[in-house]
Amino acid sequence: MTPHGAPATHYTFETLEKLGVPHLTTTRHCPGVTPSNLAVGPFDSGATPLLAKAGIEFSRLAWARQVHGSTVARVGPDGGPHRGDGFDVLVTRERGVGLSIFTADCLALTLVDLDAGALSVCHAGWRGTARDVPGVAVAALRELGAQPSRIVATIAPSIGPCCYEVDEPVTRELSAAFPVFWERWVTPARAGHVMLDLWRANEDLLARAGVDPARIENARTCTACHRDVFYSYRKGDRGRLVTVAALP
């Protein structure tokens, strides 16, 4: 993961750069971000130069109202917003259409198979993880002709196992959904609580869906530890980060 600017306005991933995939993840220092504003989208016109430099067209951005679910929206050639509720997984085969996800501790995952011309950007907190957002995204890409073994995946800065303490309602859902895996994702904390590793959980679920672990680039950068750079919902921030990617 590479920072851009001082202070960094955004980050990019080495694996996606090598593939020529236009993308970025913003920081709290990025101009033109409009958190969760469906009327405007993820960015206002102040971000146009940054997006253009990254190879992303402001006028063709797509976004959604996220609800911590796993419903898929397929984005067509015009991009543009999906204003309805319930889309946490965006997919497209359209070149130049930017798929955008808001986060502030949750994971933003980007999955791409360039041979198939298929892209997904998706949102996974603990609820999305319990609903297997990584597996849902891979399945949606397979419907577009992708092969899991060819997929390259990235995980943007998000809350780490150092800071993500959860209790029994969370572990109950995870253990019900993934009885074989879930204990790998937690370590004991104070009574009735554990530290949850969403990074490892989503890596495991990507691998279970057929993605080669060697093709997963995880920033492993905790938003709660680095509030000078990122927003953290758990730490009381109201701002949002945006992860956006497009097919070249």
Mean pLDDT score, 116-130: 98
In this model, does residue 116 exceed pLDDT 70?
Answer: yes
- C-alpha 235/C-alpha 225 separation (Å) is 9
In this model, does residue 38 exceed pLDDT 80?
Answer: no
- C-alpha 173/C-alpha 45 separation (Å) is 41
Q: In 3D, which of 22, 164, 141 has the Cα closest to residue 75?
A: 141
Q: Give residue 37's pLDDT.
A: 63
Mean pLDDT score, 149-159: 98
Name residue 59's amino acid: S
Could you state, in order of their start, the residue ranges of all structural domains in the chain? 2-159+198-245
For residue 235, CA distances in Å to 105, 196, 224, 225 come to 9, 16, 7, 9
CA 112 to chain centre: 12
Q: Hunting for tokens 């809350």 — which residue is that?
A: 159
- Structural domain 2-159+198-245, CATH architecture: 4-Layer Sandwich (3.60)
Q: Give residue 5's pLDDT.
A: 86
Q: Give residue 6's pLDDT.
A: 85
In this model, does residue 159 exceed pLDDT 90?
Answer: yes
Do 186 and 161 meet the contact criterion of CB atoms below 8 Å apart? Answer: no
Mean pLDDT score, 44-72: 93
Q: Give residue 77's pLDDT.
A: 85
Q: Is 158 helix (H, G, I), strand (E, B) or coil?
A: strand
In this model, does residue 168 exceed pLDDT 90?
Answer: yes
In this model, does residue 61 exceed pLDDT 70?
Answer: yes
- C-alpha 111/C-alpha 133 separation (Å) is 12
Mean pLDDT score, 146-159: 98
Q: Give residue 172's pLDDT.
A: 96
pTM across the whole model: 0.96
In this model, does residue 120 exceed pLDDT 80?
Answer: yes
In this model, does residue 35 exceed pLDDT 90?
Answer: no
User: pLDDT tens digit string along 201-244?
Assistant: 999 999 999 999 999 999 999 999 999 999 999 999 999 999 99
- C-alpha 237/C-alpha 16 separation (Å) is 29
User: pLDDT tens digit string along 71-100?
Assistant: 999 999 877 666 567 899 999 999 999 999
Q: Give residue 84's pLDDT.
A: 64
> For residue 119, what pLDDT band results from cuts at 50, 70 and 90?
very high
